[in-house]
Amino acid sequence: MFGHYVAVALRNIRTSPFTSAVNVLTLAVGLVCFVTAYAAGTFWSSAEQHFRNVDDIHVLTLSIKSRDTGSGSAPRQQVRNATYAPDVAAEALKSDFPSIAKIARAVTIDRKTMVANGSNAVRLYGVAVDPEFLDIFDLPFIAGDSHSALSLPRSVVLTRDAATRLFGADTPIGKTLVIGNAVDATVTGVIDAIPEPSQFGRSANAQLPFELLASRDVYDAISTGPFGLPRGAGSLPPGMGWFLIGTVVYVYLPPEGGLSAQELSRQLGDFAARHVPAQMMLGQEYNFGLLPVREMLGGNARDFFSTGLSFAAVLLVLGGLVLGVACVNYANLATARAARRVREIGVRKALGAAPSQIAMQSLFEAAALTIAALVVALAVFALARPLVKDLLGAELGAVFFSRLDVWPALGALVLVVTLAAGAYPAFVLSRVRPVSAIAAAQARLGSPLFSTLLVGAQFAIASFLLIALTVITLQNNEMRRTALSGITDPLVVIENPASQTKVASATLRERLSAVPQVRAVTEVLGAPWEFFLIFEVASSPDPMAPKHSSSVQQVGFDFFDVFSVPLLAGRVFDRGHAEDVPGTGPAFGPRPPANPTGESPPPQNVIVDRAFVAALGLGTPEEAVGKLVYRPAPPGAAAAAPPPLPPMRIIGVVENRAFSFFKTPTETAGVMYTLQADLGVTIARVAAADLDKGLAGIDAAWKQLAPNVALSRRFLDEIFDRAYANYVRINHLFGTLSVMAFAICIAGLFGMAVFIAGRRRREIGVRKTLGGTTTQMIALLLAGFSRPVLIANVIAWPAGYFAARKYLSQFAQSIPITPWPFLLSVAITIAIAWLAVVGQTLRAARTTPAEVLRNE
């Protein structure tokens, strides 16, 4: 019986090569999408499997949710399961849970840490860790002790590539390096490349792709905390450490340790209440948890656009949607093609074939086509590795094909797709009645309504993807336009932490200004799109006045000239105004000492943007100039607390300019610019017409000022593109899925048009006999094809609107949701539907009555 099913299935495929080819190709497109999504999930889920006891290693997570303030706004999830936590949380964990076997912190020193071996200076991705880190993770050491390499003070471990860059072929063990141009450290170990997939690897999703591991005291010695205070000096105000969220805290919980991950997670319920300062808990709710370390890679630990799903899960859902379109397409085409086989089915039933045998035969044919489509899909997936790597930032193929559990999963996928695609045609064929089948050579099978719904379901998914693609593209274009608006000359960003480079920002400004090709120089606290500060402000000194969170940009002179930010009212910071010139202290640091005369310090001059003026209700930009804004004391502050910081006077209003993509954990009311001295990032505007000489001049100036420090300079465009890369990937992902979904729809609709147009030729002949014209017949047929497409768009609109709101709600500046993406979806889907069927429609509409009546 099995051989008979296979033989009949192959015969049917051979006698209908066009339809079979369309089904194989469309199923292959859907399977490529799903297999790629599944491969990404298996890649990320197999992370860290090369580490011993990986199942016993967890990461401390932090979730932040706004509290119900009684203002009518619902509490909002601001951070969900972030894998960065306050540095001080590790000590609190040790104190509360002494039975934890090992706890280790890992914190990024700098993505471009200054490292020098004599005159050989390079920049490396540096991470500082506790000594226990090497006990938790068995790194692939090729030199040095794998357990004690970081137990000595001022010790570092290098990757093989980093050691080669610094020492060439020489043995690095025992050699001295200068870290951060400030700390002498000894190389105590060298490791090989971390096997992929790993959070320490080189994929785009790796969280800590280190090239240098340093003992924690190196980080404490060269890094500065908020307001320029040393992290290791113990001079931070009490509780301030809980504001500094940037450390990965690893927890090792072996089975023999007595404390399980489930038990620790349960006991962490009141951990925040015991340790987080009450001031932080007034408006926000903090919750700590645990996450298996293998889930850190690839966004598995992150909340993808507030959906509650990881990126891997969202990717699998999207791949499943495209595969669903392919399955629906197969069901429609197979049902339409089966209409030409009703006489064969009728004869077989008359000879004793049972309905179950007819259905099984149809399913065997679906399985054969599905297997063929899977083979094509796997071949395309293997050949498209570079495209997949660019799309998802990971090399999936090697890991995917080497996993033994993949092949049973693919077998299950064949079974599921066979049933999803072939169940409806098998059901329809099994219900064919022998008498009616033998009487008609061709008949319409199945429910016309259900067939229309299947076509509509295809286009509903395609329309949803198209709406999402349109919104994402418009938002991405708007981000690029507003971020780089008006900037015509290249901006060169130079990282210059003076405490490490020993080059004062004023000195660097002077030397760069002497380069003929440099048109202007300014400074900022942190590189745009990589750093931001948030502070509360109010338009009144009244403690009960409404408070707003404002983004603060600390800048140097000429900032608005360098960044081409238009001035709307007032003036910008000017060296000719003595009250503008900053001191060396931070603009938003600890409160200034009390004035001996008892008088309050004078207001600080600030510049704000248009959004800030609107949010605080300060009137027009012209009216806002000269007004004061205040930094209020926190709610519930003690009566004996120090007096509030001095007020700020607005001296100018500029146009809005975004220096961050995502919204911060608290809603921000525009941007406030403060003037500050000794900032760590210098930005030079270089003449575009003579860029090469300008860069050479900058390099020469730096070499003279800091010969033992590798220059770290980037174009502003590069910083933007790096921060923008994830959004580009999302854009390309939805674009690829939309193209594939529409390709399936086009192929399916074309195939349907072949059968439907052929079936309606008799009807068209009769209508023409009664006076119908070719134009009327074309309109009749196109209307029939357009109806399910229009209904599909209406169904897709609510889902598209919800997805658009979710996506846009993440951004500090987002485009409004207009009807255009939805109307564009209708226009494109209708146009695609017409293009797919126009040939067959014209052929059917030109049918002459004589052609039909001659065959009656």
Burial class of residue 265 (count of CB atoms within 10 Å of its CB; 0-12, 13-18, 19+): middle
533 strand-pairing partners: 552
Bigger pLDDT: 847 vs 642: 847
Most confident of the ranges 131-145, 494-508, 834-848: 131-145
Asked if residue 635 has pLDDT above 50, the reply is no
Q: Tens digits of per-residue pLDDT, 57-84?
A: 999 998 887 665 444 444 444 567 788 8
Asked if residue 441 has pLDDT above 50, the reply is no
Q: Tens digits of per-residue pLDDT, 362-371?
A: 888 888 889 9
The answer to whether the CB of 127 falls within 8 A of the CB of 212 is: yes
DSSP per-residue codes, 721-788: HHHHHHHHHHHHHHHHHHHHHHHHHHHHHHHHHHHHHHHTHHHHHHHHHTT--HHHHHHHHHHHHHHH
**H helices present in 68-215, as ranges:** 89-96, 133-136, 160-167
First-to-last CA distance in the chain? Answer: 40
The answer to whether the CB of 509 falls within 8 A of the CB of 732 is: no
**H helices present in 339-354, as ranges:** 342-350
Which residues are CB-neighbours of 89 under 8 A, at least 6 positions away? Answer: 60, 242, 247, 249, 275, 288
Q: Tens digits of per-residue pLDDT, 450-480?
A: 666 767 777 788 888 888 888 888 888 888 7
| pLDDT band at residue 226 using 50, 70 and 90 as cut-offs | very low
Q: Tens digits of per-residue pLDDT, 513-565?
A: 999 999 999 999 888 887 777 778 888 888 777 878 788 889 999 999 999 99
The answer to whether the CB of 549 falls within 8 A of the CB of 670 is: no
Percent of the chain with pLDDT over 70: 78
Number of H helices, E strands in the chain: 28, 23
DSSP per-residue codes, 796-826: HHHHHHHHHHHHHTTBSS-----SHHHHHHH
Token pair for 49: 């499997």
The answer to whether the CB of 205 falls within 8 A of the CB of 44 is: yes
Asked if residue 229 has pLDDT above 60, the reply is no
Q: What is the DSSP letter of 202?
A: S
Token pair for 20: 């079979």
**Cα–Cα dist 786/791, whole Å:** 9
**Cα–Cα dist 281/276, whole Å:** 7
| pLDDT band at residue 391 using 50, 70 and 90 as cut-offs | confident
Torsion, Cα of 318, 320, 321, 322 (10° steps):
90
**Cα–Cα dist 836/746, whole Å:** 6
Report pLDDT for 485: 79
What are the angstrom distances between the C-alpha of 499 and each of 183, 502, 511, 699, 702? 12, 6, 18, 20, 16
Asked if residue 854 has pLDDT above 60, the reply is no
Percent of the chain with pLDDT over 90: 27
Q: What is the DSSP letter of 588?
A: T
Bigger pLDDT: 767 vs 20: 20
The answer to whether the CB of 807 falls within 8 A of the CB of 727 is: no
Q: Between β-strands 141-144 and 245-252, what pairing exists: parallel, antiparallel or unpaired?
A: unpaired
What are the angstrom distances between the C-alpha of 394 and each of 44, 322, 377, 848? 9, 21, 19, 58
The pLDDT of 600-607, averaged and rounded, is 83
Strand segments (E) across 399-496: 491-495
Question: CB count, 10 Å around CB of 409?
Answer: 12
Per-position b or e across 112-126, b if 16+ CB within 10 A of its CB: ebbbbbeeebbbbbb
Q: Tens digits of per-residue pLDDT, 544-557?
A: 778 787 888 899 99
**Cα–Cα dist 188/158, whole Å:** 8
What are the angstrom distances between the C-alpha of 674 and each of 319, 386, 624? 48, 46, 16
Bigger pLDDT: 634 vs 805: 805
Asked if residue 140 has pLDDT above 70, the reply is yes
| pLDDT band at residue 638 using 50, 70 and 90 as cut-offs | very low
User: Which of 300, 308, 303 has its CA nearest to residue 207?
Assistant: 300
**Cα–Cα dist 669/160, whole Å:** 47
Average of per-residue pLDDT values in the chain: 80
Asked if residue 279 has pLDDT above 90, the reply is no
pTM, entire model: 0.72
